[in-house]
Chain A
Amino acid sequence: MRIVIVGAGQAGGWVARSAREGGHTGEIVLLGRESLPPYERPPLSKDVLDGREAHPPEVLTLDQCQALSIDFRPGTEVVAIDRVNATIQCADGTNVDYDRLVLATGGLPRRLGCPGEDLPGVHTLRTVDNARAIAKLLQPDKRLLVVGGGWIGLEIAATARSKHVEVVLAEAGQRLCARSLPSQVSDVLKGWHEAAGVDVRIATTVVALEKGASRPLRAKLSSGVEEFDGVIVGVGLHLETALAENCGLAVQNGVVVDQSGRTSDPQIYAVGDISNQLSSFAGVAGRQRLESWANAQNQGIAVGKTLAGTEVVYDDVPWFWSDQYGKNLQVLGVPTNAADTVIRGTLGGDSFSLYQTANGKLQSVIAVNAARDIKIAKRWMKAGTCPPTSILADCSTRLDRL
């Protein structure tokens, strides 16, 4: 049985490895648009961007692909899926037949959609090449505009400040990370960035970009006109779901899959950023799409095992982290603005945890420099239990000894 995986990012890489290690003896073909073997993206806004690491960690090296008999084909663009004949068509005119197909296509950075967005000096961040291009701008006394107050924008801003670059951060909405965090924590992040000298501008949009005079770029912001050495855009991910849409698979907020990652076609799976998956932790909706390192890895591993013959129901507790200014922030579960909140420690302190409960159940935990609290809470969330909020708030009680 041949497994064909479209997309050789972190998710695709783990599907390949997991299927082979799970006992699949047939062919595994891994097709990637990029020229590099599967790698992890989070370091692109941190260690790779600031030059500490030349490359992000690889999920599968070329040697490992050889050893595991994974037919890895980099620089390959897939243009269509023919479900009738169970074959995919590549841009170079070749076809690859499949018995099982896995879509792990992720996405491309969403564009700003304003005049001048294609000028030199305007960057997005998704690949190693992008990170290296942005790294060249991170020289002292350069002035950067970071567009987007989400995780990408915030990590880039933090890395840029560590290189003594002047940063203006423009967020179109009312607060930072509005999609992922409750407002108290958005405020904490704003505090970190302002304390580090970032000019954080909420409710600020980019109207147009043009060539500058004193610096390479001129940005017409809703707050006025200013010049910059570079503009980095982090305003979300445009999902690569066209292949799925064009061949008639169910696509809505990503490719719709069941609890084992199967799409509306039982021969086709979808994993990673594009996957609209069932989750016990997604609240009333019951479904969610996660753009996280943990989902790419763990859903990839689960689908690999299912393909190898051991059906796995993937229902992990969503988990995410971000590192900014040497602080580690982790998010477990799905925070909302509606839940009851208990704080362990002091909000905005060096280390604290914010617990959200709803109807006595733990809904989410957000922790700064408190990785252990997250790990312990993950057990509770898996078990559906939750200690009394008085205990959560009591720093003198060890949560791992309950």
Chain B
Amino acid sequence: MNSTIAATDDWIGVANVADVGEDDTFAVDLDGHSVCLYNLGGEIFATDGKCTHGDADLSLGLVTDSSLIECPLHEGSFDIRTGKAVAPPCTQNLRCHPVKTEAGIVFLRVGPATPPA
């Protein structure tokens, strides 16, 4: 049975899996909201695109230790998998978004995202 995600479900296709390089970032727009995608060991994660500390685009930052995203503005970092702020000046956790991949496409859920831990 096909399990294609239909447009009527509350998931929306935002990118190709191939767009998100390993240990790299990819910026997408989710209903007017900026979201950053990451590829950690083949698994796709997604967080808000804007740093919680300042007006910075996390997709311009650097993925470190295959698990953290370092903000381009002030070097604070977050754990990509949980959104937890792990280095100053960032103290407020980052919001994560649930991700599904199917047929080489990355889907994000439209609607309330995972609240920060």
Q: Which residues of A contact B23 (CB under 8 A)?
A: 400
Chain B 45-64 near chain A by CB (<8 Å), digits 1 or 0: 00000000111000011100
B75 at the interface (CB under 8 A from A): yes
A57 at the interface (CB under 8 A from B): yes
Once the chains are docked, how many angstroms separate the CA of A371 from the CA of B69? Answer: 13
Would you call A297 and B88 a contact (CB within 8 A)? yes
Would you call A372 and B72 a contact (CB within 8 A)? yes
Would you call B61 and A372 a contact (CB within 8 A)? yes
Would you call B70 and A293 a contact (CB within 8 A)? no
Q: Which residues of B contact A297 (CB under 8 A)?
A: 88-89
Q: Which residues of A contact B73 (CB under 8 A)?
A: 321, 328, 371
Would you call A371 and B60 a contact (CB within 8 A)? yes
Would you call B72 and A57 a contact (CB within 8 A)? no
Once the chains are docked, how many angstroms separate the CA of A59 from the CA of B88? Answer: 10
Q: Which residues of B contact A40 (CB under 8 A)?
A: 89
Q: Which residues of A contact B61 (CB under 8 A)?
A: 371-372, 375
Q: Which residues of B contact A375 (CB under 8 A)?
A: 61-62, 70, 72, 75
A6 at the interface (CB under 8 A from B): no
Would you call B62 and A372 a contact (CB within 8 A)? yes
Would you call A57 and B89 a contact (CB within 8 A)? yes
Once the chains are docked, how many angstroms separate the CA of A44 from the CA of B86? Answer: 26
Which of A14, A293, A301 touches B74 (beta carbons < 8 Å)? A293
Whether A57 touches B54, Cβ cut-off 8 Å, given contacts A293-B74, A297-B89, is yes
Q: How far is the CB of B86 from chain A (nearest CB, A)?
A: 13
Q: How far is the CB of B25 from chain A (nearest CB, A)?
A: 10
Once the chains are docked, how many angstroms separate the CA of A294 from the CA of B73? Answer: 11
Q: Which residues of A contact B70 (CB under 8 A)?
A: 375
Q: How far is the CB of A395 from chain B (nearest CB, A)?
A: 17
Q: How far is the CB of B44 from chain A (nearest CB, A)?
A: 19
Would you call B53 and A294 a contact (CB within 8 A)? no
Q: How far is the CB of A152 from chain B (nearest CB, A)?
A: 19
A376 at the interface (CB under 8 A from B): yes
Q: How far is the CB of B38 from chain A (nearest CB, A)?
A: 14
Chain B 70-90 near chain A by CB (<8 Å), digits 1 or 0: 101111000000000000110
Would you call B88 and A294 a contact (CB within 8 A)? no
Which of B53, B60, B75 touches A57 (beta carbons < 8 Å)? B53
Q: Which residues of B contact A294 (CB under 8 A)?
A: 74-75
Q: Which residues of B contact A319 (CB under 8 A)?
A: 75
Q: Which residues of B contact A372 (CB under 8 A)?
A: 60-62, 72
Which residues of A does B touch, CB under 8 Å? 14, 40, 47, 57, 59, 293-294, 297, 301, 319, 321, 328, 371-372, 375-376, 400
Other contacts beyond A57-B89, A293-B74, A297-B89: 4, CB < 8 A? A57-B53, A59-B89, A321-B73, A371-B62
Which residues of B does A touch, CB under 8 Å? 23, 53-55, 60-62, 70, 72-75, 88-89
18 contacts across the A-B interface (CB closer than 8 A): A14-B88, A40-B89, A47-B55, A57-B53, A293-B74, A294-B74, A297-B88, A301-B88, A328-B73, A371-B60, A372-B60, A372-B62, A372-B72, A375-B61, A375-B62, A375-B70, A375-B72, A376-B62
Going nearest first, the 3 A-B pairs with the smallest beta carbon separation are: A371-B72, A375-B62, A372-B62
